[in-house]
Amino acid sequence: MANHKSAEKRARQALKRRNRNRLIRGSVRTRVKAVRKAIEAGDAATAQSELRLAEREFRKAASKGSLKKTTASRSISRLAKAVGAIPA
């Protein structure tokens, strides 16, 4: 446990950030699941629309610092590649 006033504040800040990051990453994972579900079903139109929403969530998470920008870009790229591979 923190013993100094500054350490106590740091602990509070870390807790806030952790909760915010968990919430943001959770919403990203939810969107990714929706894209993967559409890919498995072979529904190209739904997968494309879900991909757009997932990309938006990834970019938001990266801009807020919850995810690294390169991680977000790589994930978007892999999802887009999978969506593009759905037979039309």
Q: Which two tokens stand for residue 67?
A: 């995810």
Q: Which pLDDT score is estimated for 1?
A: 78
Contact criterion met (CB below 8 Å) for 33 and 47:
no
Q: Which pLDDT score is estimated for 88?
A: 67
Single pTM value for the model? 0.87
Using CB atoms within 10 A of its CB, is residue 44 exposed (0-12), middle (13-18) or buried (19+)? Answer: middle
Q: Which pLDDT score is estimated for 85?
A: 95
- Digitized pLDDT (tens) for each residue of the chain, 88 residues in all: 788 999 999 999 999 999 999 999 999 999 999 999 999 999 999 999 999 999 999 999 999 999 999 999 999 999 999 999 998 6
Half-sphere CA count of 59, side-chain side, radius 13 A: 7
d(CA 48, CA 79): 10
Q: Which pLDDT score is estimated for 87?
A: 85
Q: Which pLDDT score is estimated for 44?
A: 94
Ordered structural domains, the chain, with CATH = 5-84 (1.20.58.110)
Give me the phi and psi of 57, to 5 degrees please. Answer: -65, -40
Contact criterion met (CB below 8 Å) for 51 and 32:
no
Q: Which pLDDT score is estimated for 2?
A: 83
